[in-house]
Homo-oligomer: A and B are copies of this chain.
């Protein structure tokens, strides 16, 4: 048999999977980042009446051609960034059928693309040395369950013998141990910043603060649950942090003192970082609150929160007596948690506890959290 014939047979076999369940549709690409920086979205939907793109590119109607292919091109070039979106087809919200680049947030899957040429270049892999991303399981004694977490080790870690600092990076409500890898682009950001010499090589530990579940959908021994956005409040992420710390320090070559440890989180994860730093006051020299939901509480018999959340100002005194290298607060000027962060800063100011503050435009968004990750990481372990 001729090579070409054999290759065709194999290709036909491989394509059976998709061809057997796809409708006949014209060849097209979506999304397409055009040479001028505009972006074109397309979807084949010959019978649809109204088709819209929704999400970070904004909400825009697509226009249908005679073959039933809808399209919309942004009026202006899009800034270099990562954008997530979905289509709305006659009111049904779907991912882009032609885009295999998807990221999941809780129970919803989104399509995404990156416009290169600026900030977005940090969010896609470049031709630089890549770290290893591992999904490990540890025993969360405090929660009486096995739990999964994601761990980034920088390029060269596996080949070397040196000890590395560790950055504990926490997601927000509804997220999980893959949130910072997906929307947060943590592995790409770390690879790129290390390659550019802007940060020190470090281990990044991304546990799940969604304590009701062992793991992301599809990896949990509890079966095929549907994420419901329930978070971890009152379920003691802070209590299980001991288990995480012990696992990491016993399985990796870590710098086992506060100068080699950072903790930061976004939103609910900001509260987790805040409370964990207070309850382990000699553990971290670097603390970051990104759009944080950190709440300051005095002991109050009427509160339902467990002891671990109480006496926060008293605990802050202990923390700041140890003079952390960096206490970092970042938030968007339109963030729904802005006032809560004003209150935290007020307490820091009134006690003359030093902190670094970054205010960006915008709200409670991954766009901001990626900016904070870059900014915070550049200040670590110097």
Contact = CB atoms under 8 A, between A and B. Distances in A.
Interface of A: 3, 6-7, 9-18, 20-25, 29, 43-49, 54-55, 59, 68, 85-86, 88-95, 97, 100-102, 104-109, 113-114, 116, 124-137, 146, 148, 155, 158-159, 172-174, 215, 217-224, 226-227, 229, 231, 233, 251, 267-268, 293, 295, 303-305, 335-337, 363-365
Given A21-B93, A44-B92, A10 B114 contact: no
Given A136-B132, A137-B130, A217-B100, A105 B18 contact: yes
B136 A158 contact: yes
A93 B101 contact: no
B93 A95 contact: no
Contact of A48 (B90, B107, B125): B90
Contact of A92 (B6, B48, B88, B113): B48
A231 B7 CA distance: 10
Contacts of A135: 132-134
A266 to B, nearest CB: 10
Contacts of A136: 132, 158
Contact of A100 (B14, B22, B227, B293): B227
- Chain A binding surface, main DSSP class: loop
A17 B16 CA distance: 37
A267 B14 contact: yes
Contacts of A229: 11, 14-15
10 contacts: A3-B305, A7-B233, A10-B268, A14-B231, A16-B363, A17-B105, A23-B91, A23-B93, A25-B93, A47-B90
Contacts of A131: 137
Contacts of A86: 21-22
Contacts of A125: 215, 218-221
B337 A9 contact: yes
Given A9-B336, A9-B337, A21-B86, 14 more contacts: A3-B303, A10-B173, A10-B268, A13-B293, A13-B336, A22-B86, A25-B92, A29-B226, A43-B92, A45-B92, A109-B109, A124-B223, A133-B134, A137-B155
A274 to B, nearest CB: 13
A174 B114 CA distance: 23
Nearest to A135: B133
B97 A92 contact: yes
A93, A219, A229, A304 — most chain B CB neighbours (10 Å) = A93
A54 B100 contact: no
Contacts of A45: 89-92
A376 to B, nearest CB: 20
Contacts of A3: 303-305
Contact of A231 (B10, B20, B108): B10
Contacts of A101: 217-218, 224
A106, A114, A221, A226 — most chain B CB neighbours (10 Å) = A221
